[in-house]
Amino acid sequence: MSYLARITAISMLGLTAACGAVDKAHCYVWGLDCKESGQDGKDGESIVGEQGPSGVPGARGERGPAGRDGVDGKDGATGATGAQGLPGIRGLDGTSCDVAPALGGALITCGTSTVLVTNGLDGVDGRDGQDGQDGVDGQDAPPTQFTVTEMINPCGDAPGADEVLLRLANNQLVAHYSSGSRQFLAVIGPGTYMTTDGTSCIFVVHPDMSVTW
């Protein structure tokens, strides 16, 4: 088909598609034998060509910011207790030592080694500390049967060596006895007596051991 005929066919197809029938005047101009348009023909099959080659990969993008730290996971379960280890090897016996007194110290012998340890020198005495506070007075001891509980002066005070009587806790009376060179203390009972201090005072000891003059 010539180029002119190809253009004519395309134009006719365009007219037919637009108007539904061929324009006879137009056909005349083109010198064609125009007829009424027939039914549309079937669509042609589309043919897909082969895929072209892949393009060149683009440049690598910038690195994004680091993400936030994740939440800590829960602690795992406690592991089982391991088996007990084997007993260790028994250590060697130590060497015993002997200690013997020596001049100014002690002689220590351990196996084949001997060492003399001398006594240290006495240090200087420190200063005396301050006296502490006096303690609280203790309670008086309970009287015994011979504790003096009263002093009795028959006929009252007199000048010089004035004889007196001593009353004990057991209610006994002790007086000074004088007969020449014989002088001593004596326990006296109920009765009438006279002092020997030069006042010659006469006093009476009653059965209840009370004294009057």
Q: For 151-193, what is each residue's pLDDT tens digit?
A: 999 998 888 888 999 999 999 999 987 777 888 899 999 999 9
How confident is the model at residue 211, as a pLDDT?
96
Q: Radius of gyration over alpha carbons of the chain, in Å?
A: 76
Q: Is 205 exposed, middle or buried (0-12, 13-18, 19+ CB in 10 A)?
A: buried
Provide mean pLDDT across the span 121-130.
88
CA 82 to chain centre: 30
pLDDT band at 52 (very low <50, low <70, confident <90, very high): confident
pLDDT at 20 over 60: no
pLDDT at 87 over 60: yes
pLDDT at 80 over 60: yes
- Report the range of poorest mean pLDDT among 12-21, 96-105, 118-127: 12-21
pLDDT at 16 over 60: no
More confident residue, 121 or 7: 121
pLDDT at 12 over 70: no
* Model confidence, pTM: 0.35
Q: How many angstroms separate the CA atoms of 24 and 145, rounded?
A: 179
